[in-house]
Every structure is written in structure tokens, then in C-alpha cells.
Homo-oligomer: A and B are copies of this chain.
């Protein structure tokens, strides 16, 4: 793994974890001393993250951490929903018995987490569920796009997790998806996933009406 890739990962990580809040300027020279490397290396990282949609880059005016409006977060989630449904359908077709068992175990852990009896956070299990699904589907193209979209809207997802009572609803939706996959029900899995993401969008929309731009 080359140096540039490392810096890219570090910077992406720092952006996603809030070290650089949305709107922050990413001055190349400052980043060079933060990550201890040349400007070209930082530059390459910025180009990469720019085409991932995490940073804005204007000619001769520098890069900033991209600000994602609620409206755009909704679009991102819609696109993600379309692709995750595809993934769910493929997972229902391709997954083997072992993988199905593992998926159900994640759902069980989710139930424990909601009841406060788990040492894993619900957010972690949620990520694990979707990651596992992507692997089961074997659909690398959709998987890559979804991973990207997930990062882009990460800041809004974070707010979602805080919402009281949200996790309980979410668990049952995940259970429905796992159940459809258990039964090799491709359209059912896609529909369940679609319903899940649609419910996320609904929350985003309500939050958007109440909250700031």
C-alpha cells in the first residue's frame, strides 16, 4: 500500500469522525504538516475524496469538507435504497446456509442491544448487518457504490441513531429482511429492504422540516 492511499484513508477517517466538520477548509499546506508528507500526496488524497463526494474542490479556491443538506441526504438514501434492494435480492439468491445463520445471529444481537444487554452498540451491529449482506450478494459493483453513499450521508445517519425508539423499529425491519433471505425470497428481500430505507427517509424528512437547513 502506497503512502498516498494511507493518507487518503486517514483523511477520510478524520472527516467521517468529525475532526474536520462540514464546511471546514482543507488547506493543503496545513494537511502536509498534519500528516507529515508532501503537498502532492495530500493533493492526490483530496482528488480521490473529491470524486467520492466527501470534499468539494473549486479551481484555485481550495478544498472544503462537503456540506450535505437534508435534501441531499434524502437523495443519497433513496439511491442507496435502490442499490441495497438489489443487493438484498442477490443475497437471497446466492447466500449459503452458513451465511444465513450468521445473518440471523446479527439480528439476535440487535435485539439484545436494544434491550441493553449487549456490549456491541446498535450502530455497529447495523453496519455489520449491511456489510454482511453485501458480501453475501456477491454484487461488488453495487456494494462499492453503497459503501460510498453510506460515507457521504454518515453525518446524518449519526443523528438518526440518537432518535429514541428508532432502534426498536429498525430491528424488526432488519428481521424482516433476514427472514426473506432465509426463505430464498428475492422480491420479498428487496421489498423489505426498500421499506427499511423508506422509513429512514421518512425520519430524515421529518427531521429536515423541523431542523436547520
Contacts and interface: CB of A to CB of B under 8 A. Distances in A.
A137 B130 CA distance: 28
A82 interface: yes
A59 interface: yes
A58 to B, nearest CB: 10
Chain A interface size, as a band, is: 20 to 34
Interface string A154-173: 00000000000000000000
A175 interface: no
A141 B142 CA distance: 15
Interface string A1-14: 11001000000000
Nearest to A3: B59
A142 B60 CA distance: 28
Given A1-B59, A51-B48, A59-B1, A78 B142 contact: yes
A139 interface: yes
The prevalent SS among residues of A at the interface is: helix
Nearest to A78: B86
A48 to B, nearest CB: 6
B79 A145 contact: yes
Nearest to A83: B82
Contact of A48 (B47, B86, B141): B47
Given A2-B60, A79-B141, 14 more contacts: A5-B59, A40-B40, A43-B44, A44-B47, A47-B47, A48-B51, A51-B52, A75-B141, A75-B142, A76-B141, A78-B86, A79-B139, A79-B145, A82-B86
A85 interface: yes
Residue of A75, A86, A149 most packed against chain B (CB within 10 A): A75
B83 A79 contact: yes
Contact of A139 (B2, B78, B149): B78
